[in-house]
Structure 1
Amino acid sequence: MEQQKLPNATLILVFGILSIVTCCCYGIVGLILGIVAIVLAKKATQIYSENPEAYTGFQNVKTGKILAIVGIVLSVLSLVYYIGIIAYFGLDGMQDPELMQEKIKELMGQ
């Protein structure tokens, strides 16, 4: 029997990589791509576990899933960081450079 490529194996790997690359885009893009990669990897793993001899490319699925998990963690950390910055400085402080300078000086104790 001829082996066929596992569905979405390459897409899962690409989404896993992109979730790490885009984690600095306020954390949202990387989080979405990571979650999509995890869901696709779960489906591909179920298909592979039913008949492992019929499919190739499972290594891409495993690698993509690991990269997606790393991307999700980095995206969540980035999102928490940006939320903290906005909570501390406020939206007005983010738009007004002089107000931000004052907040930074307060933070430094000057």
Structure 2
Amino acid sequence: MEQQKLPNVTLILVLGIASIILCWCYGILGLILSIIGLVLALNTTKLYNANPNDYTNYSALKTAKLVTIIGLVLNILFLLFMIWFIMWIGWDVIMSQDQELIQERMNELLNQ
């Protein structure tokens, strides 16, 4: 039987790279993309493990999985930072968009 490439490897890599780029969107959009990429990577790994002699690009799959995991970690860290920031500054201050009050809270944060 002729060896073929594993399916979805390019898609997993694109999702991983996009999740790293989009982690600055409050961590949510990138988190969703990295979870989808990780699920696809785990399913493709199962497919490879069932028939390892049928596929050729397992190293590309490992790279794509690593990029997706890095994106997942970055998005979780940024999401936790945003939650901490909102808790510290206060949702009411952020929603009021009062620049002086936000500046005052930021100065309190930096001076402590």
TM-score, normalised by the number of residues in structure 1:
0.89
Q: Which residue of 2 aligns with 1:100?
A: 102
- Aligned-pair identity in percent equals 52
d(CA) in 2 for partners of 1:51 and 1:75?
Answer: 33
TM-score, normalised by the number of residues in structure 2:
0.88
- What secondary structure does 1:93 align onto? helix
5+ residue gaps, structure 1, are none
Q: Deviations over 1:22-51 (max 9, x none)?
A: 111101111111111111111111111111
- What secondary structure does 1:6 align onto? coil
5+ residue gaps, structure 2, are none
d(CA) in 1 for partners of 2:43 and 2:110?
Answer: 50
d(CA) in 2 for partners of 1:54 and 1:107?
Answer: 57
Counterpart amino acid of residue 107 in structure 1: L
Question: How big is the shift at 1:20?
Answer: 1.1
Q: Which residue of 1 aligns with 2:31?
A: 31
* Aligned pairs for 1:73-84 within 5 A: 73-84=73-84
Counterpart amino acid of residue 77 in structure 1: L
TM-aligned CA distance change 1:96 to 1:51, over 3 Å: same
d(CA) in 1 for partners of 2:36 and 2:3?
Answer: 26
d(CA) in 2 for partners of 1:96 and 1:80?
Answer: 24
d(CA) in 2 for partners of 1:105 and 1:9?
Answer: 47
Question: How big is the shift at 1:2?
Answer: 1.4
